[in-house]
Amino acid sequence: MKFGSFFIALLLTLSIPFYMNIASGSETYNNVPTVIESFIDDSGCDYDEQANNNVRLNWAFGNESILSGQQRAEALGADACTMWINGEQDDYDMNENVQMVDVSLEVDAYFPSENDDYEKPETLFEGLYLSAQIIPLEDLPESLNLRWYVTVDYSPLGQNVAQDLVKHYGWSSSFHHDKLNITNWTHEINSERLVEDGIPFTEDDLWRLEVVILFVDDLNHSIYGGDSVQLHTPSSIPDRMVMIPTIIIGIAVIVGLIVIVRQDQQREVGLPRLRGTLHKENRGWHADIVITAGTRDATLTGAYADEPWKIGKTPKQQLVVAGTSRNFSVKLRCNNPECKIVATHWKIEVDELGAWVLDLNLPIKKD
């Protein structure tokens, strides 16, 4: 594809107007994520965030608990202020966890555009759109099911504030699939349902939300695969229209660098090369010079030497055809007996590359 066509296609892609404001994100684990579940009550239970690489699910325990939290606590036999890792409480060995499912989750958040002056169509979706590619790494048992959760940071819990507090949940009855039977799973959570569950679904609060999907075995309550996505406020995501000037400048810089590199390559192969020797005879100093043309014809138009050296008769208008060499001999004299090196300069005109001065230093060999 020619650069011009590519550039136009790029601009058209970036300038397509959006009916909706969309924020999205994805984050993929290469193995079973470390899922830390805590059952916290009004006291906060000395809450600890743990490492950022972990998936946190904090369940409200007590009067503020939700049905899914009550069911999970009952299944694990969990009490208030207890912490569980991948369905195990004490002496849990991370290496014992077996990955059955590879999951790659993406989440899009859809909001009405601020520029919409007309009535919103009833079919227009507002809320979170979950999509995931699910790859069973072995035949999955019927007891394995898919669960999804939405957690919220800075959620009030009694007199305290909790992070990663589960506010929305859902599950499939069973996810019995054969090995490598890939499933492209999608799920919509509309904005009204999010608000009903106490989730602040606004563009400014989007950064507080995290979406988690897990594969949980109903028999032993262990977790055998999952992924999570931390959402971001749209204002923190560069606007495509705003980025167009920056992209254009970036493309121009890249093109300029390519042109410079290309010109350097042409000069490197196009300019002639010099070599020479200096020797002394009874009549004085002589320099034998060899000029080898590059990929372009070169014409010698003159030469000179730095003081205290002088060049006698300078060969001029001598054509050196591309890819060939020509020899020149010039006389040199020096008025200073301490001369140790001859600095010569050769004026060359190269086809399509212009005029150049090539330097050649000729050292004086001692007897």
Is 321 domain-assigned?
Answer: yes
Is 250 domain-assigned?
Answer: no
Residues 220 and 287 in one domain: no
Q: What rounded mean pLDDT belongs to the chain? A: 79
> Of 240, 255, 287, which closes a domain?
240
Distance, CA of 185 to CA of 183 (rounded, Å): 6
Least confident of 129-138, 190-199, 305-314: 305-314
Residues 276 and 230 in one domain: no
pLDDT the model gives residue 6: 43
Residues 291 and 207 in one domain: no
pLDDT the model gives residue 367: 54
Residues 189 and 284 in one domain: no
Residues 280 and 208 in one domain: no
Is 262 domain-assigned?
Answer: no
**Residue reference for tokens 């990955």:** 99
Within 197-308, residue ranges assigned H as helices are 240-270
Is 103 domain-assigned?
Answer: yes
Residues 233 and 358 in one domain: no
Task: Give the residue numbers spanning the domain of 50.
Answer: 17-240
Q: Where does the pLDDT of residue 243 fall: very low under 50, low under 70, confident under 90, or very high at 90 and above?
A: low
Distance, CA of 242 to CA of 244 (rounded, Å): 6
pLDDT the model gives residue 54: 77
> Of 190, 224, 240, which closes a domain?
240
pTM over 0.85: no
Please give the average per-residue pLDDT across 271-290, as a whole number: 81
Please give the average per-residue pLDDT across 53-77, as a whole number: 86
Is 246 domain-assigned?
Answer: no
Q: Where does the pLDDT of residue 167 fall: very low under 50, low under 70, confident under 90, or very high at 90 and above?
A: very high
Do residues 100 and 225 lie in contact, with contact meaning Cβ atoms separated by under 8 Å? yes
Ranked by mean pLDDT, which of 21-25, 182-186, 355-359 comes out on top? Answer: 182-186
Inform me whether the pLDDT recorded for 238 exceeds 70: no
Own/partner long-range contacts of 310-319 (Cβ < 8 Å, ≥24 apart)? 310/334, 311/344
Least confident of 38-52, 53-67, 154-168, 315-329: 38-52
Residues 222 and 357 in one domain: no
Residues 23 and 110 in one domain: yes
pLDDT the model gives residue 235: 61
Residue 135 belongs to domain with CATH number: 2.60.40.10
The total of structural domains in the chain comes to 2
**Facing residues of 57 across strands?**
37
Residues 30 and 110 in one domain: yes
pLDDT the model gives residue 22: 54
pLDDT tens digit sequence for 319-343: 888 888 888 888 888 776 667 778 8
Please give the average per-residue pLDDT across 287-300, as a whole number: 85
Chain centroid to CA 42: 42
Residues 23 and 113 in one domain: yes
Is 251 domain-assigned?
Answer: no
pLDDT tens digit sequence for 173-191: 888 889 899 999 999 999 9
Inform me whether the pLDDT recorded for 14 exceeds 50: no
> Of 223, 240, 257, which closes a domain?
240
Residues 95 and 219 in one domain: yes
pLDDT the model gives residue 260: 80
164, 145, 130, 161: which is closest to 36 by C-alpha? 164
Least confident of 61-65, 184-188, 291-295, 314-318: 314-318
**Facing residues of 311 across strands?**
332
Is 11 domain-assigned?
Answer: no
Residues 215 and 347 in one domain: no
pLDDT the model gives residue 150: 95
Please give the average per-residue pLDDT across 217-223, as a whole number: 89
Is 21 domain-assigned?
Answer: yes
Q: Where does the pLDDT of residue 144 fall: very low under 50, low under 70, confident under 90, or very high at 90 and above?
A: very high
**Residue reference for tokens 């330097």:** 359
Residue 210: CA count within 13 A, CB half-sphere: 22
Inform me whether the pLDDT recorded for 16 exceeds 60: no
